Structure formats: C-alpha cells, structure tokens
C-alpha cells in the first residue's frame, strides 16, 4: 500500500530535511517513527517532494512511503504524530496510486517568505520570519517581481554550488502581500533551483530598499551569473507551503 501524507515541520532545530549522518533531520525522524510503527529493524524509506535547507519550515511538505500495514488512512496522522517529535506533524494521509511519487508527480510548488519590518525584534518571530527593519517600497518590489514571472534561465538566482545543468524554470505566480503581521512573498513555480526562492526574496528586498531598481532585476536574469543578483535571504523566513499534483 502506498501512503501519501502532507506534513509540516518547524525547521529551526533541524539540519534540513534530508538525512545526514550524525545530524537531526526531518527525514531521519520520519523514518525512525515509521520503523517503530512497523516494528521493523529495517528502514522504511520516505520520499519527499524535495529537500528543504536547514532552518527552512514546511506547512505543506508531501511525502510518500510503502507500507504493509492496514491502518485506515484517517488514522495514520494520529499513529505517526504520537511517535514524532513535536516539531514535525502529519496533517493529512491518504492512499495513493502505485504510480504516485512525491517528487516526480509534483507539477508545481508554492513557497512563502515572511518578513517583518518592525523597529525592534519580535521574540515570537525570531525563528519564523526575517527581521528586516528598513523602509520598503512594496510597489517597486511588485514591479520587479513581474520581470521574474514566466519561463526564464534562473542561473543568476541559483546558488553557484549546484550540479543542476538546466536552469530554466517557470514561475507562475509571484506576489507580495502587506499584512498587519508583516510582508509575505508568495511564489508558485514549476520547480526551484538551489536557494532560488531565498535569492529571489533577498534581491526583491534589495529592490524595496532602493539598492536595485525593478529594471535591474531584468538585467540580472540576462546576466546568467549568480554575482549579478542580490543577497540570499535567510532560511528561517522560508516555508514550503504547498505541493501541487495532477489529481
């Protein structure tokens, strides 16, 4: 039986999603809980829609795994949440078709980036939003965002430490919402390169302060050079929000 689950995690005490020897990771905790549930010495491998970096959160990460257990789908979150640490929670579980794959079946992903601009730090947001206490011109940030929407080579917006060759991706939606609680960037794309969302957020914040113009961002895309774009915004403001599948 193949199970598909939506999970959330608070990234701040994890060394990212993916298993790394000797480090606390989300995947390792999931596989540990599943091994207990399966009373198994062997690992129950968990496949996710993709890794997230250290400190990055997930509101709607999707995973799949195979299981011989005949637990009803709606009981899976209770069974796993009882075994998982408090900073990981299973939100939903459902039986999936054999052909389903958390990573390869994904057609779009949505990330959100949270910023707050209050003068003084907010203790309740210190791990959950980026404190950037500069005056921001959100209108300019929206204009710059328009240049990034569509299908482009995002080499300038990708960490230089990557082995991926094809850096063409499609951004379907990219907008900024100004709320009482701060600024929120919402980005939906076909897929994202390493650090791409954080470099986009950092660069657009630099547009907000006036360091770059909206048109500069168009030039950054054309440059195809990581040095051309702005800063990588810190991981703790970033949330993997939703993974879209066909069904």
| Active centre residues (catalytic) | 53
Among 36, 37, 83, 89, binds a second copy (CB under 8 A): 89
| Per-residue tokens: 202 | 């950092």
The yes or no reply on residue 121 touching a second copy (CB under 8 A) is yes
Residue 221: name the closest of 168, 152, 119, 159 by CA: 152
Among 90, 193, 221, 233, binds a second copy (CB under 8 A): 90
State the nearest-atom distance from the C-beta of 106 to a second copy, in Å. Answer: 22
| Per-residue tokens: 80 | 């796993």
Scanning the chain, the segments in alpha helix (DSSP H) are: 26-37, 76-81, 138-148, 196-209, 214-223
Report 2-61 residues binding a second copy (CB under 8 A): 8-10, 57
Among 120, 161, 165, 246, binds a second copy (CB under 8 A): 120
Cα angle: 180, vertex 183, 185; to 5 degrees = 140
**Tokens 């900024």 — which residue?**
176
Query: Rounded distance, CA 205 to CA 121, Å?
Result: 18
| Number of shown-chain residues binding a second copy (CB under 8 A) | 21
- Our CB check for a second copy shows the closer of 6 and 105 to be 6
Among 88, 129, 204, 217, binds a second copy (CB under 8 A): 88
Binding site for substrate: which residues? 111
The yes or no reply on residue 91 touching a second copy (CB under 8 A) is yes
Cβ neighbours of residue 204 under 8 Å, at least 6 residues apart? 141, 144, 145, 176, 185, 217, 230
State the nearest-atom distance from the C-beta of 182 to a second copy, in Å. Answer: 15
Residues lying near a second copy in the complex (CB under 8 A) are found at: 8-10, 57, 77-78, 81, 86-91, 119-124, 126, 128
């Amino acid at each position: 039986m193949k199970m598909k689950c939506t999970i959330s995690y608070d990234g701040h005490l994890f060394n990212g999603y993916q298993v790394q020897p000797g480090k606390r990771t989300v995947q390792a905790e999931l596989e540990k809980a599943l091994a207990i549930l399966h009373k198994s010495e062997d690992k129950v491998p968990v496949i996710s829609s993709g890794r997230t970096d250290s400190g990055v959160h997930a509101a709607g990460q999707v995973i799949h795994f195979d299981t011989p257990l005949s637990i009803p789908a709606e009981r899976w979150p209770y069974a796993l949440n009882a075994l998982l640490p408090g900073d990981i929670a299973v939100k939903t579980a459902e039986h999936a078709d054999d052909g389903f794959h958390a990573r390869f079946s994904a057609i779009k992903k949505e990330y959100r980036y949270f910023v707050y601009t209050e003068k003084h730090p907010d203790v309740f947001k210190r791990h959950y939003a980026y404190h950037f206490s500069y005056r921001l011109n959100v209108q300019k940030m929206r204009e710059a965002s328009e240049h990034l929407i569509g299908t482009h080579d995002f080499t300038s917006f990708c960490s230089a430490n990557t082995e991926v060759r094809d850096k063409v991706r499609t951004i379907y939606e990219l907008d900024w919402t100004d709320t009482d609680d701060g600024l929120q960037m919402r980005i939906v794309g076909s897929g994202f390169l390493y650090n791409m969302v954080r470099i986009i957020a950092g660069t657009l914040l630099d547009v907000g302060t006036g360091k770059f113009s909206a048109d500069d961002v168009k030039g950054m895309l054309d440059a195809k050079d990581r040095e051309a774009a702005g800063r990588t915004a810190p991981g703790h403001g970033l949330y993997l929000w939703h993974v879209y599948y066909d069904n």
